Amino acid sequence: MADLGRDSPFPGTRLPALGDAGEVQQFLAAIVESSDDAILSKDLQGIITSWNGGCVRLFGYTADEAIGRPAAMLHPADRHDEEAMILTRLRLGEKIDHYETVRQRKDGSLVDISLSVSPIRNQHGTIVGASKVARDITAQKRAIEQQELLLGEMRHRVKNLSTVIEALARQSRPRDEPAVDAFVDAFMGRIRALLSTGELLLATPQRNVGLKQPIAASGSVYSPKFIELGGTAVNGIFTNTAFFPEEPRAEVQDFVERFRAKYAKEPDAFNAYAYDAVVIAAAALREAGPSGDRKAVRDAFYKIKDVPSVVFGKANFDPQTRRVIGVKSVDLVVKDGKWALGDSKSRAAVASVR
């Protein structure tokens, strides 16, 4: 039998022979009918004019039941306004790509779908209807929900771990030793920075699913490693910290300049806390004098006043709490892959999770 096919752009293959326009239409109709996606067409009044096998499987209506009825029959009660929106955009010649929505099956159950709508034009270029392609995304949506649940649990466990570590550190330390308290504060700052990867795991899927609300990394402190690990997922995330190298205070800028000169890198919160702990301890030792015993050194912490501090500005101890008085924090936001000083929006976001 003679080969009536046509040359294909791919070597070694032939396209099937198609005769008149009717044959072409049959060929295209067979492709549509065999598609796993639900494909239907409707006119400008929203009346269904064609219905493939994918529609039968997805929505439960046979072609005889669906053709001639309004496409709005598939809309749940709270989404009837979507059909008017689709028809309006359709008449303007607009195409709708991958619009995630919900439709109702014949049995009344709801199904999550990704919907694409394209205008159909006649031989004169006039829009006479639309084709719709619907894909069931129930499995993907459930997977995202499960992922969110697991990540929420992970975040909870990470924060619990931080709390346990802090409790162990504080309960194990010698009593009435301000220098040790200062070290524990610095140590916990480092721990929180390391555990901030939990915040990154939470932020990434939230951004991927299009969440626009502010995300506050309440368990983290300033660290360049946060952005290095998180990449673009952390853009727009708010946090607060006791130290930020771009804060304009003179104490901060002097420390940052000397740290960069000595270590050729950017200091983080742990570096600032550790530096302050040494400076404050030295001031207490000077106050106690060369013959001061352990008790004298301890008491000296409550006598020293306005010790220059990178983190606190001026450090003064409260003898009741054994903590520095008047600790303040700096609100930050990630902008274009960099930490930046926060604004009123970032302050509100951080305050909401404190």
pLDDT score, position 135: 92
pLDDT in tens, 134-192: 999 988 888 877 777 766 666 666 666 767 777 776 666 666 677 777 777 777 766 66
The residue assigned the tokens 């003064």 is 316
pLDDT in tens, 24-40: 566 666 777 778 889 99
pLDDT in tens, 264-316: 888 887 788 888 888 888 888 888 888 778 888 888 888 889 888 888 888 88
Q: Binning pLDDT at 50, 70 and 90, where does residue 327 land?
A: confident
Q: What is the mean pLDDT of residues 108-117?
A: 93
The residue assigned the tokens 């719709």 is 132
Burial of 148 (0-12, 13-18, 19+ CB in 10 A): middle
Domains, the chain, in order of start with CATH, read 19-136 (3.30.450.20), 140-351 (no CATH)
The pTM assigned to this predicted structure is 0.44
Residue 313: its H or E element: strand 313-315
Letter for the amino acid at 39?
I
Lowest mean pLDDT among 22-31, 125-134, 179-188, 328-337: 22-31
d(CA 212, CA 203) in angstroms, rounded, equals 11
Residue 84 has pLDDT above 70, yes or no: yes
Lowest mean pLDDT among 134-138, 306-310, 337-341, 346-350: 346-350
pLDDT score, position 315: 85
Q: What is the dihedral of CA 17, 19, 21, 25, to 10 degrees?
A: -40
Across the chain, what does the average pLDDT equal? Answer: 77
What 282-286 contacts at long range (C-beta under 8 Å, 24+ apart), as own/partner pairs, is 283/307, 284/178, 284/179
Q: Phi/psi class of residue 191: alpha, beta or left (left: φ > 0; alpha: ψ in -120 to 50)? A: alpha
